[in-house]
Amino acid sequence: MTLRVLLADDQALLRGAFRLLLESADDITVVGEAADGREAVRLTRQLRPDVVVMDIRMPEVDGLTATSEICADPELRASRILILTTYETDEYVAQALRAGAGGFIGKGIGAEDLLHAVRTIADGDTLLSPAATRSLVARFLATPDDAPSHDPEQLAVLTPREREMVALVATGLSNQEIAERMFLSPFTVRAHVQRAMTKLGARDRAQLVVIAYRTGLAHTGPDRTP
């Protein structure tokens, strides 16, 4: 299957470079380019790409606002957002997670890393490393103006195994890493995670991580794992 990608960046030169890089892969095609967030939203609705590679700082409408608008539209649920930016600050990462982005990477990454990122996001996985997931979600979702809301009723729809999987996802582990830890197949882990996402209304694994912290299933603190 060929992955359809939309590029959103206000710098035409960078868009051209990213297009060449992405289309060097047999399984990826760039279906459109946007120079600002408003155009990114419009083209996402029109083209329905699998992945939107989104810059943050753009004129008119910024990338985080565009991400929020795309992720809030049920008709665009299949389009995943990969934030690709020069500004790799903790605050931006946290805002991107809350907006619904499935991943956050810097423009300094290598060619193979970018291709891997697009494929990972398209597959519904999150791209944040375990360390970044723990530190960012713990730091920003636990602040006074965005404190975790402990709502056990929200987790009542999950089976004990699904709760266990969500807690492990919240540590930043990939399906393969969870499978190795739990002595299960990656397919089984993926099935549990997907069912948990559906039951909780999570768009992707990044949102599943946020839910885990908001409900108290995962905890802030020094490197606590389930």
Instruction: Name residues of the chain where pLDDT drops below 50.
Output: 129-131, 144-148, 222-226
Cross-strand pairs, 133? none
* The CATH classification of domain 3-127, taken from the options 2.60.40.10, 3.30.465.10, 3.40.50.2300, 3.40.50.1000: 3.40.50.2300
Q: Are 1 and 27 in contact (CB under 8 A)?
A: yes
User: What does the pLDDT look like over 2-35, one tens digit per residue?
Assistant: 999 999 999 999 999 999 999 999 999 999 999 9
Read off the amino acid at residue 152.
P
Task: Please tell me the predicted confidence (pLDDT) of residue 219.
Answer: 67
Task: Please tell me the predicted confidence (pLDDT) of residue 175.
Answer: 82
Read off the amino acid at residue 65.
T
**Mode of pairing for the β-strands spanning 3-8 and 28-34:** parallel
Indicate where the chain has its CATH 3.40.50.2300 domain(s): 3-127
Task: Please tell me the predicted confidence (pLDDT) of residue 173.
Answer: 78
Task: Please tell me the predicted confidence (pLDDT) of residue 131.
Answer: 44
Task: Please tell me the predicted confidence (pLDDT) of residue 141.
Answer: 55
Which tokens hold the place of 30?
């760039």
CATH fold group of domain 149-214: Arc Repressor Mutant, subunit A (1.10.10)
Which tokens hold the place of 88?
């790799």
Indicate where the chain has its CATH 1.10.10.10 domain(s): 149-214
Q: Are 126 and 134 in contact (CB under 8 A)?
A: no
Task: Please tell me the predicted confidence (pLDDT) of residue 220.
Answer: 54
